[in-house]
Amino acid sequence: MTFGQWQTPNVSTDGTANYTPAFPVLSLYDPIVRFLSRDRAWRSYLLRLLSAAEGQTIVDAGCGTGTFLKTLARDRPGARLIGVDPDDKVLNLAREKLTGSDIELRRGYLRDLVDLIGPDSVTHVVCSLVLHQVPMGEKRAGLKAMFATLKPGGTILIADYGLQRTAVMRNLFRLVQAVDGKENTQPNADGILPELIVETGFDEVAELKVFFTPTGSISIYRGRKPGS
Ligand SMILES: C[S@@+](CC[C@H](N)C(=O)[O-])C[C@H]1O[C@@H](n2cnc3c(N)ncnc32)[C@H](O)[C@@H]1O
């Protein structure tokens, strides 16, 4: 299978949008992400940023095969957990991986979050490795929907390819660009994410950490919805 075929559009429920599948051979997705993105390092960092308070609701937007949800179920047992992804095949894998937990899985795009979950209803939205592969319109619409579904004072945590600061990182990131296409990925490499997060209305926006990986640097961004 060529990279071009990998990007074959998938029509959404309303027939207007499409997405890049997590990986052509889904059974290989987890080990490949482990190796190519050093996901253990940045997922443990994300976990530390999520407080252990009872009563929180955490949404994993574009949850893929449910790797982070599984960690959350183990380490944040008091939280209500919701995973959203547009790909049925990926959701089926997540369902298998999460058997025995009461995590809720829903099918939809980032932009559908409010319809799927409701406005002002969750304390955290986490979104990892999704925004770099969606068009600018979906980056904006997705962030807007995350904002709307958060309670005032709630936070978003984004882990994704961000500003590629050095020639080495820009060259390594070319592998991701060969797979996911340049149009959607280049704005991330140019550092657009914090601007978009601020533009959406979040405050206290910060790039908290940068992880160097074999496929470029992955940044952790946090933003807070204004209010109590
Ligand atoms: C590279 S995978 C990352 C999965 C997971 N977040 C992780 O960290 O392993 C990207 C995921 O985003 C999903 N996706 C692609 N476009 C999306 C969109 N517009 N809204 C929500 N999810 C999307 C894909 O189905 C895929 O599962």
**Residue ranges lining ligand 1, Cβ < 6 Å:** 19-22, 33, 62-64, 67-68, 85-87, 90, 109-110, 128-130, 134, 138
- Roughly what angle, to the nearest 10 degrees, separates helices 167-180 and 182-189? 150
Distance from the alpha carbon of residue 97 to the mean position of ligand 1, in angstroms: 16
- Residue 22: which pLDDT band, with cuts at 50, 70 and 90? low
Nearest ligand 1 atom to alpha carbon 87: 25
pLDDT higher than 90, residue 52:
no
Sheet holding 104-107, edge to edge: 104-107, 80-85, 57-61, 122-128, 150-161, 216-224, 203-213
pLDDT value of residue 31: 86
Q: What spacing in Å lies between the alpha carbon of 130 and ligand 1's midpoint?
A: 5
Largest CA distance in the chain: 50
- Taking the CA of residue 60 as reference, the ligand 1 atom at the shortest distance is 6
What confidence tens digit (pLDDT) does each residue in 62-97 have?
999 999 999 999 998 889 999 999 999 999 999 999
Predicted pLDDT at 53:
73
Output the pLDDT for position 27.
Answer: 76
Mean pLDDT of 202-206: 98
Q: Categorize the per-residue pLDDT at 30 as very low, low, confident or very high, splitting at 50, 70 and 90.
A: confident
pLDDT band of residue 193 (cuts 50, 70, 90) is: very high
Cβ atoms within 10 Å, residue 9: 9
Nearest CA to ligand 1 atom 19: 109
From 18-27, 29-38, 122-131, 145-154, the region with the lowest mean pLDDT: 18-27
Element (H, E) at 145: helix 136-149
